[in-house]
Chain A
Amino acid sequence: MSAYDKLVFELSSPGRIGFSLPESDVPGRPLADVLPKKFLRGAAPALPEVSEFDVVRHYSRLSRMNYGVDTHFYPLGSCTMKYNPKINEDMARVPGFARLHPLTRPEDAQGALQLMHELAQMLAEIAGMDAVSLQPAAGAQGEFAGVLMIRAYHASRSEKRTKVLIPDSAHGTNPASTAIAGYEVVEVKSLPNGEVDLEALAREVGPDVAAFMITVPNTLGMFEPRIMEITEICHAKGVQVYMDGANLNAILGITRPGDLGFDVCHFNLHKTFTTPHGGGGPGAGPVGIKAHLEPFLPTPVVVKNGDAYALDDKRPKSIGKLQAFWGNFGMLVRAYTYIRTMGADGLRSVSDNAVLNANYIMKRLEADYDVSVPGPCMHECVLSARRQKKQGVTATDIAKRLLDLGFYAPSTYFPLIVEEALMIEPTETESKETLDAFCDAMIQIAREAQENPAIATAAPVTTPVRRLDQTRAAREPNLTWSPKR
């Protein structure tokens, strides 16, 4: 990786420009004569003054200080870092999509609305749900929308339910989204193998519980074998069941949340459906629901009347809006392109190969690392570095050493219920050679831990910077650049 230590501000030279704007072609007076002074900026903003080429070289060089899926294997568990097809990008950039204004009247946006309508139907079929809202901007917003619909449903039946049950192995967004929706979060302890403790669940579900929220396959990469009993136990007590769809990549065409008894589930289009992660978004988090929740869908809903598509905003029972417009449309174009590329057989083969690849890694590493739960696993496996920790090498050290060996790191210390967790998700798009190279590196690290732990604790040494002082960053926050520093 190339080392480069500039910020764009440090390239600035007064008077240099990087833009091209025309001279004004309309008659007019200077702005200071048109608007009262109190509205105008006293001094020009202190933005950088750089040439176009300065910009291009600077950001090209910064990009080289990153690992991306295009350049490195990214075994980041729960994040489904698969290949992002290039045709998706071409399609999202077609002017008819990219240059379409959101408030264009539906008559002049029929192609966009048709794409959204069809994508919602395809996602509903994939998840076995009755309807899908494409509006949520990311998984966490999908969760929020789903929990709000559950809340509206109970309210419509005049039921006062105040709690939502969430396993201790859940993603952090589950309790956070639930709390913002106004519920008390009750954490349910998992069995040591990560499965739901049915007896504990049966004790907890009651007339004050609104929902049970669970990830399938769970965050240990295991399918809950008794999932249908779980949804039945909940429904018997009037409790709605929410599936966090972060791990949907494991089950495409194999089983469907709707058929398992789930009332709500969200999709992460940036995981399963190949829209890029972009360094932290944008994603898209559509939410699927069963028919009894349909009146509460976020507004507007894309509807088809005869041959024409429209945005239906007259939905009095709706939970309301989540973002100003209709959803992260650019991401929807990418996901649509992907699903139409793959078809039913292709999607099934995605999950088959994702599961195969994860099991292959787990098998190859089981002698050198502790396996959190014996296999077979689904699309990801969770190892524990507890053996290495005794030798002085933690999960963090292993992650950092992997960076030196040319791989991004697995998710570490998640799920919280596994000591020194290393959560590995290879996805279906990686080849056997890559998996083998990764396993070889992991085995090498395990041997190094026995022989010379300092190699891992000193890592990384090949990256543009070495381990960073997180404590200092938090104690003396330096969040903006200034010339004085």
Chain B
Amino acid sequence: MTSRYIANTSAEQRDMLRTIGAASIEDLLVRIPPKARLSRPLALAPALAEADLIRHLRALAARNADADRYACFQGGGSYDHYVPSPINHLISRGEFFTAYTPYQPEASQGTLRTIYEYQTMIAELTGMDVANASIYDGASSLAEAALMAHAVTERTEVVLARGVHPLYRRVTATYCDGPAIRLRDVPAPEGVLDVEAATKLIGKKTAALVVQSPNFYGCLEDVAAAAEIAHAAGALLIVVADPVNLGVLEAPGRLGADIVVGEGQGLGVPMSFGGPNLGVFAAKNELVRRMPGRLVGATVDRDGQRGFVLTLQTREQHIRRAKATSNICTNVALCALMATIYMATLGKQGLQRVGELSAAKAHYAAEQLTKVPGVSLRFASPFFKEFTLRLPKSPTTVVGKLARKRILPGVPLRTYDRALADCLLVAVTEQRTREEIDAYAAALAEVLK
């Protein structure tokens, strides 16, 4: 059977074979030894016509509790933020969507310019000198930052605050296994970095201290204090930050961060069950030649006209092979484009509004939810758009019961920290309405009765 994605007709195939001087396509496969050949068709479900396939996939999608049909109070590294309409239209232009990595810069100025804009805006938000063109996600960005700190300092340990996202810590552990970098945890009994414990752990072997702010529990960390203890020991400070918050929260670079990484999904990228995401990676100037990933720089063409190219490529795998700063090749350029258009559209005022609205609604939600008997905030530290609730009943049970009311009330923390088995992590973005928050509080009161 012919496929709508293949143009060659049988007549054209015969014509081409005649030019080649082969009797059949089989003749072109002679190098594959007969015993290596698959002697049967692949055992796959039969092909579906477009309309049937759409029906099938819509039926699968209908079995998922998505944020269009449910009020989503889930966070923990992926957030339901506002996505301005132009983003999808613009990224869907085939010239962006179906282009390759801009290795031929003269025919890729569109992509190169958007990456240069992206680097500029991320550097501005994080308060760093340079940002790369992206890593896969926040977790792999942190892992790359740990490897980079190890390479820069030639030290063998990385100290992580317990408030760093537990799944990011696990990804970092995967990446640090090969070079045998030892990861050490600093407890956070009050939801934030225990500075005294951190000071004791950090020493001459420490390549970097990692803090996340707001951290996994929603609490804001004292980044400046963390910078002080890291730098006193000659270690780098890596800060994990969500750039969508940085319209109102202080830029980590101004608080002493040497490397800022984070998940940029909130900048106009759909949640999409956790991927593709947007790994943000920014650093100080002096670290640029050790950075992983692609970088775009401005230059001029033969006629002296401004143009953009991939630059400092001698760091990268296609040039340096085993000695590259990272193995990354394909990154998430299109997600970076979504974020670029998002940051341009929201602009100076919009990103502030997103931050203010999210924080206001989160604080209102915390007030309403903690009015429910038996419900309290687990930590006293200041929070931004996410907070940890302690519940009098199993959070997992509560999540199941509220799902029936089309509310996704948050993420139970039991799987991440046994000591927080009675806790639920709740995120509130600018997308949630007062009505939804009130309905959540009422439903919670009902199931806890």
Contact = CB atoms under 8 A, between A and B. Distances in A.
Q: Are chains A and B native binding partners rather than an unrelated pairing? A: yes
Interface stretch (B199-207, B334-342, B386-394, B440-448): B334-342
A96 B329 contact: no
A47 B354 contact: no
B258 interface: no
A70 B251 CA distance: 40
Central interface residue in B62, B136, B272, B317, by most chain A CB within 10 Å: B272
A449 interface: no
Interface in B108-133: 108-111, 113-114, 116-117, 119-121, 123-125, 129-131, 133
10 contacts: A7-B117, A47-B125, A59-B86, A60-B93, A68-B98, A94-B61, A282-B332, A343-B47, A376-B29, A460-B107
A429 B106 contact: no
A323 B113 contact: no
B293 to A, nearest CB: 10
Given A228-B33, A259-B36, A429-B7, A63 B246 contact: no
Contacts of B333: 278-282
Central interface residue in A76, A399, A477, by most chain B CB within 10 Å: A477
A434 to B, nearest CB: 8
Interface string A20-55: 111011111011001110111110111111101001
A453 interface: no
Given A111-B64, A137-B137, A359-B28, A59 B47 contact: no
A99 B352 contact: no
A228 B110 CA distance: 45
A467 B307 CA distance: 9
B183 to A, nearest CB: 12
Given A408-B104, A479-B119, A341 B47 contact: yes
Contacts of B16: 356-357, 359-360, 432
Contacts of B168: 324
B70 to A, nearest CB: 8
A473 B297 contact: yes
Central interface residue in B68, B165, B179, B274, by most chain A CB within 10 Å: B274
Contacts of B45: 122, 340, 343
A295 B308 CA distance: 46
Interface stretch (B152-160, B230-238, B430-438): B430-438
Interface in A87-144: 87, 89-105, 107-112, 114-115, 122, 125-126, 128, 137-141, 143-144
Contact of A349 (B3, B131, B357): B3
Given A148-B174, A225-B31, A344-B41, A91 B54 contact: yes
Contacts of A227: 33, 36
B93 to A, nearest CB: 4
A43 B425 CA distance: 30
B380 interface: no
A279 B106 contact: no
Contacts of B69: 95
B315 to A, nearest CB: 10
Given A108-B65, A254-B38, 12 more contacts: A41-B251, A47-B348, A67-B95, A67-B99, A85-B5, A103-B77, A176-B321, A280-B100, A280-B333, A323-B275, A341-B3, A352-B25
Contacts of B99: 66-69, 277-279
Contacts of A441: none
Interface band, chain A: 35 or more
Nearest to A285: B330
B351 A400 contact: no
B5 A79 contact: no
A337 B303 CA distance: 46
B369 to A, nearest CB: 13
B167 A140 contact: no
Give the top 10 A-B pairs by smallest Cβ distance, nearest first.
A96-B61, A325-B274, A70-B94, A102-B274, A343-B47, A278-B334, A182-B178, A282-B276, A111-B63, A280-B333
Main secondary structure of the interface of A (DSSP, over half): loop
Contact of B8 (A21, A337, A431): A431
Nearest to B293: A280
Contact of A432 (B8, B32, B35): B8
Interface in B247-261: 247-251, 254
B60 A96 contact: yes
Nearest to A460: B106
A98 B272 contact: yes
A148 B177 contact: yes
B12 interface: yes
B347 A49 contact: yes
Contacts of A192: none
Interface in B294-347: 294-303, 305-309, 311-314, 316-324, 326-335, 337, 340-341, 343-347
Interface in A401-427: 403, 408-409, 414
A467 B120 contact: no
B56 A340 contact: yes
B109 A65 contact: yes
Contact of B20 (A7, A30, A343, A363): A363
A282 B345 contact: no
B327 A45 contact: no
Given A98-B272, A180-B175, A324-B274, A376 B295 contact: no
Contacts of A99: 66-68, 80, 270-271
Given A278-B333, A280-B331, A479-B130, A69 B352 contact: no
A21 B357 contact: yes
Given A45-B125, A403-B106, A465 B305 contact: yes
A460 B305 CA distance: 14
B272 A329 contact: yes
A348 B313 CA distance: 38
Central interface residue in B116, B294, B344, B403, by most chain A CB within 10 Å: B344
A181 interface: yes
B440 to A, nearest CB: 13
Contact of A100 (B43, B67, B121, B250): B67
